[in-house]
Structure 1
Amino acid sequence: MNEEDLYSTTGLLYKNDIFIGSGVIFCVNYTLLCLTAGHNLYGKNFDITPDLSQWTVQDHHGDHHRLAALNSDLNFAEKNDIVLASIRMCFNAGELYLP
């Protein structure tokens, strides 16, 4: 893996245009996903219910994409400090980065 591959799979998470943290973006079964730390979305005490309309992921091109759904729940996030979020459908199931 080279440096460009690293940048192309890095997503920057923003809540209301304020940088919160980072994650890994990738495509599985035509769905673009973001894997990030649970505390990024639920807060460090896991006491916040995320309003997905406030959240975006910035790709390596600088484009922001809204989070569409959370694919894991609060209990899993708190236990493992991991959240998997859907961003959107992608065009090429084999791509590892946003087109």
Structure 2
Amino acid sequence: MAYHVRQWFLLFPILMTGAGGISAADISPATAANMARNCFGCHGPDGRSPGAIPALNGKSAEFIAQSFKDFRSGERPSTVMGRHAKGYSDAEVNALAKYISSLK
């Protein structure tokens, strides 16, 4: 019993540091810009896709974030985006959406 109590006291602070999660405000613009490089590989420089892949420029942050979340949940069918979307947290999605929507 004492062993389990000791484990709890050691793990509790570690568990609590992540309990609040990370918000989009915690992700710097430089980090969001770096993450966006992955998007621009297919969606074109600054999201200005010249081809069949949809352009991201001119889209609102809300639209981009919701689309990403719909791909992740499978609500919006895709060939590639669903797999990409599963690799990002909500905070990262929101930071990416905010960054991409700021590009003109």
Q: Does TM-score exceed 0.5, indicating one fold?
A: no
- TM-score, normalized by length of structure 2? 0.26
Higher share of residues assigned strand:
1
